[in-house]
Amino acid sequence: MALSDEELQDIIERLSPEDRKQLLSQLGRRVEVDNIANPTNATGEKTKPKVEPKTDGSKVYCCPICGSASYKKKGYTRQGMQRYLCKDCGKSFSENYGDSLRYSHLTKEQWLILFRGIVNNHSLTRIGQDADISPSTAWACRTKINQAIATMYGYTDLFQGTTEADEYYCRAAFKGKRDPEFFIYTLERMPRHHYTYAEKIEWLQRHGLYDYVMGKYDNTDATRDKNGRTDFDRFLDPKMKRGISNDQICILTLVDDTNRLYLEPVSVGRLEKAMAKEKLKPRFIPDKSNVLVTDDHNAYNRALYGTKAKHEVVPADKHKKGKYNLAKVNSVHSALARYMNPKVGKVYTTKYLDLNLMLFWWLFKYRDFNTEEKAQALYSIMNDQI
C-alpha cells in the first residue's frame, strides 16, 4: 500500500539530519538498480533491458565507457580476467576497469602483505622486504591506498553532541625536494643536509646561489654573535625554532562522543581565528544541544557562531571544567604522535601529509578490528568492492 505525500513528509520530518543523509544515499542506490533492471523510455513505459545483469558474481552490469547494457564476453586478459565487448560503442573492457589495482603488477598476496605492513605501521623498507618489492614501489602503493581512502571518504563526518577540538603540530618536512631555489628563495634557509661547512658552500656555488646568499647575509665581524657566528654562518647552519613557528604545520583535530574524527592540516604556524571558523563551522549540524570543548586559545572564540552550539573553555592550568575535558582529543594526539614518530623515521612530507592523515583517520575508525580484517577491508577498497 502506497503512502501519501503527507505521511511521507511526516516520516522525513522525524528523521535526524544524519538519518536523512543516509536515506538519500540508499534511495540513490535503489533508483540506480531500478533503472538498470527496469529502464523506462520517454513516455514512461517499461522496456525490457537488452542484457540482464550478470548473476555469476561479475561486477560488470553495463559498459563503463558509454553506459550501455548491451555487451558480450570477449576472451580473457593476460592475467586470466574476463574481458567484454560493448555492442554499442565497440569498446572492450575488463572487470577491473577503473579499479585502483587495474595497472598493478603485484599479486593479491603481495598486496595483502603490503596492507598488513601499513596497518602495523611498518617502515617502507620492511614492507618492501616482506612483499619482495622496492621501498619506492611500497611508497607508491601506500600513496595510492591513501588516495583511494581520501577519494572514497574525504572529510565527510558531521559532528553532534559534545565535541572536543585542539591543534596538533608537526614539523614541516620537505624530504625528496630537489629544487635549490625553493629553499633559498621561498623558505629562505638551507636544506637540512648532513653536509660540512665546506660542502654547503660548494652546494651553493654549484647551483649558482652563492653570490645571492653572500649579498643578503653579511659575513663580516660586525655580525658575529657571542659564539663567533656571523649572519652567513647562521644561514648555513639553521637551528630549529623553539615553540610554534612557520617551521611547523598545524593539524586541526575534532573528535566527539561517538568517535567521529576530523584531522586536517590547515595552516603553517599558529591557528588563526579565520581559519578555525572556516574549517569548524561546516563540520557541525546546527543544533543547540551541541557543545564544543576547547582550550583557552582565542582562535576558537565564536568559531561556531550561527550553529547554535555552546562553547566550553577548559583553562590551560586545569584538566577539566565541570564535566568537560579534552581527554579524548588528547588520546587521539597521542596515537597520532606514535603514528608519526620521527625517532623511528616516520617523518611524512608536508606535500603528502593530508593523504597520510586520511590513512590514520581510516585506521582510527577500524581500530577495533584485527590486522587481517583491516587488510581485507583495504583490499576491498582498492579492488572497488565497496
Tens digits of residue pLDDT in 86-113? 998 988 888 777 666 767 788 889 999 9
Pairing of strands 320-321, 310-313: unpaired
Beta carbons within 8 Å of 264's beta carbon, 6+ residues apart: 155, 251, 252, 279, 354, 357
Contacts of 83 (CB under 8 A, 6+ apart): 73, 74, 75, 76, 77, 92, 93, 94
**CA neighbor of 294 nearest in space, from 262, 337, 253, 333:** 253
pLDDT of residue 29: 52
Say how far apart CA 380 and CA 108 lie, in whole Å: 11
Set of cell numbers at residue 318: 586545569
Placement of cell 588520546 in the chain: 331
**Count of CB atoms within 10 A of residue 86's CB?**
21
Cell 652567513 belongs to which residue?
232
Question: Backbone phi, then psi, for 34, in 5-degree steps?
Answer: -60, -40
Percent of the chain residues past pLDDT 70, beyond the cut: 86
> What does the block give as the cell for 1?
500500500
| 141-189 residue pLDDT tens | 999 999 989 988 888 788 888 999 999 999 888 888 889 999 999 888 8
Alpha helices in the chain (DSSP H): 5-13, 17-37, 108-119, 124-131, 135-152, 180-181, 197-206, 210-216, 231-236, 273-280, 327-339, 353-365, 371-382
**Radius of gyration, CA atoms only, the chain:** 27
pTM score, whole prediction: 0.72
Sign of CA dihedral 60, 66, 72, 74: negative
Secondary structure (3-state) at 255:
strand
Side chain identity at residue 241, one-letter code: K
Q: What is the pLDDT of residue 116?
A: 94
Alpha-carbon distances, residue 256 vs 37, 253, 293 (angstroms): 41, 10, 10
Q: What integer pLDDT is reported at residue 49 of this predicted model?
A: 40
Distances (CA, A) of 69 to 52, 93, 196, 297: 8, 13, 67, 58
| Residue 275 DSSP class | H
Residues 6+ apart with CB under 8 A from 212: 184
Amino acid at 83: R
Distance CA 5, CA 1 (A): 13
Distances (CA, A) of 266 to 31, 120, 195: 38, 27, 32
Which residues fall within 8 angstroms of residue 340, CB to CB, at 6 or more apart? 170, 346, 347, 348, 356
Can you list the residues of the chain whose pLDDT is less than 70? 1-3, 18, 21, 25-59, 79, 98-100, 102, 344-345, 384-386
Task: Please provide the distance, in angstroms rounded to a whole number, between the alpha carbons at the two ends of the chain.
Answer: 33
Fill in the amino acid letter for 96. N
